[in-house]
Amino acid sequence: MSTNWILLIIGGLFETGFAISLGKAQQASGKPFAFWLLTFAVCVTISMYLLFKAMGGDKAIPVGTAYAVWGAIGAFGTVVAGVLLFDEPVTFWRLFFLTSLVLSVVGLQMVSSS
């Protein structure tokens, strides 16, 4: 796995971080609210920067693939975090579509490697 793919994966995890931060900010007020907004700003900055870096250099990931994978990692992580942190429901269909999302990301990575 190239450095660009590692950067993209880490960027996707920071996307999860900024979504979680927004969820926590919705539940907070005062100093905790400011903390979660600051956390959001840091996570979105890092996430976008890593997405940018993954799409450049010698082993650049095509923009369409990079954005789809980055978004899917963030979406998957956000759903898992929602279940663990916000007591969101776990249903058959949520698990089914999460599984199809992961398989699609793996497929994109495989066809983009060649």
DSSP characters for the chain?
Answer: --HHHHHHHHHHHHHHHHHHHHHHHHT--SHHHHHHHHHHHHHHHHHHHHHHHHTSSTTPPPHHHHHHHHHHHHHHHHHHHHHHHH-----HHHHHHHHHHHHHHHHHHHHHH-
pLDDT of 114 above 60:
no
CA distances from 55 to 4, 17, 88 (A): 7, 21, 33
**Mean of pLDDT over the chain:** 91
Give CA–CA dist 16/74, Å, rounded.
5
Q: Mean of the pLDDT values across residues 36-63?
A: 95
**Residue-wise over 3-12: b if at least 16 C-beta within 10 A, else e?**
ebbebbbbbb
The pLDDT tens digits for 8-45 are 999 999 999 999 999 999 999 999 999 999 999 999 99
Per-residue pLDDT at 113: 60
